[in-house]
Amino acid sequence: MPLLTPYVASRTDELPGLENELKVDFAPGGPRLAYRNTRPEDRDHHGNLWVRVSESTGGRVLYDCMNVRRQRACMEDMLCQVCGGPADRDRNGWLFIDWRREGSPPTWPERSITSMPPLCAEHVRVSVRQCPFLCRAEYVVLRVRKPRLYGVSGTLYRLTDTGWHTSERDVLSAYDKPRLPGMLASRLHRELRGVTTVGLP
Ligand SMILES: [Zn+2]
């Protein structure tokens, strides 16, 4: 069976924005990271600044890397990460795959926080067969009643005398905590609440 090209997968022709597009904006609420040429779509409705990235249908597919805009669209609108169509939902909830990671809560998979978008019924089966990552991890297929929007993660910028300093790892910023003014978001996360472990549909 040929490998599918997942809708969320990034491509080598899709390029991130440049660091010199960023500036410090002295807003009434305090200094914050901003773009020199602002566009309405740069911020989400929580005010987080998002990475700009181009979209292309060319280049090679990067199976282990998600395109920022498509990951966000899938998570926001509950679209299948493989085909971009509506994710599957029944009376027990939406279809997700989740796996145990460092930092997973003791209640896992309940209250797991994930950036991996949901799936349709067909593509949950394909993903379990084809995803090389899942072969190495303890994973579950889940129905999730309340996959609530949790927050964003990305690079945290700090302006110093010698220029921009960035966090080495991505930082998670929950919507119910104060917004981080140096955040450049690249992932949208949901918290999986009301989960039921199921077999493959
Ligand atoms: Zn699908």
State the pLDDT at residue 127: 87
- The larger pLDDT score, comparing residue 164 to residue 33, is at 33
Token code pair at residue 185: 């978001």
Q: For residue 116, how far is its CA from the centre of ligand 1 (angstroms)?
A: 13
> Could you list which residues have their CB under 5 Å from ion ligand 1?
80, 82-83, 120, 123
- What is the C-alpha to C-alpha distance for residues 24 and 163, in angstroms, rounded to an integer? 11
Indicate if the pLDDT at residue 82 is higher than 70.
yes
- The larger pLDDT score, comparing residue 132 to residue 108, is at 108
- What is the C-alpha to C-alpha distance for residues 87 and 37, in angstroms, rounded to an integer? 35
State the pLDDT at residue 4: 80
Q: Could you report the per-residue pLDDT of 119-154, keeping only the tens digit for each? A: 999 999 988 887 766 777 788 999 999 999 999 999
Mean pLDDT value across residues 12-27: 88
* Rg of the chain in Å (alpha carbons): 18
State the pLDDT at residue 155: 95
State the pLDDT at residue 18: 83
Indicate if the pLDDT at residue 2 is higher than 70.
no
Secondary structure percentages of the chain, helix, strand, coil, to 5: 15, 45, 45
Confidence of residue 118 (pLDDT cuts 50, 70, 90): very high
Supply angle C-alpha 67, 68, 73, rounded to 5. Answer: 100
Q: For residue 46, how far is its CA from the centre of ligand 1 (angstroms)?
A: 29
Q: Could you report the per-residue pLDDT of 90-101, keeping only the tens digit for each? A: 999 999 999 998
Q: For residue 132, how far is its CA from the centre of ligand 1 (angstroms)?
A: 18
Q: For residue 19, how far is its CA from the centre of ligand 1 (angstroms)?
A: 34
Q: For residue 123, how far is its CA from the centre of ligand 1 (angstroms)?
A: 5
Neighbour tally for 189: CB within 10 Å:
21
Q: For residue 125, how far is its CA from the centre of ligand 1 (angstroms)?
A: 10
Please tell me whether residue 137 adopts helix, strand or coil conformation: coil
pTM, two decimal places: 0.92
Total residue length of the chain: 201
Mean pLDDT value across residues 166-176: 95
Give the mean pLDDT of the chain.
91
Q: For residue 126, how far is its CA from the centre of ligand 1 (angstroms)?
A: 9
Please state, for a pLDDT cut of 70, what percent of the chain lies above it.
96
State the pLDDT at residue 86: 98
- What is the C-alpha to C-alpha distance for residues 8 and 87, in angstroms, rounded to an integer? 13
Mean pLDDT value across residues 147-173: 92
Token code pair at residue 160: 């110093």
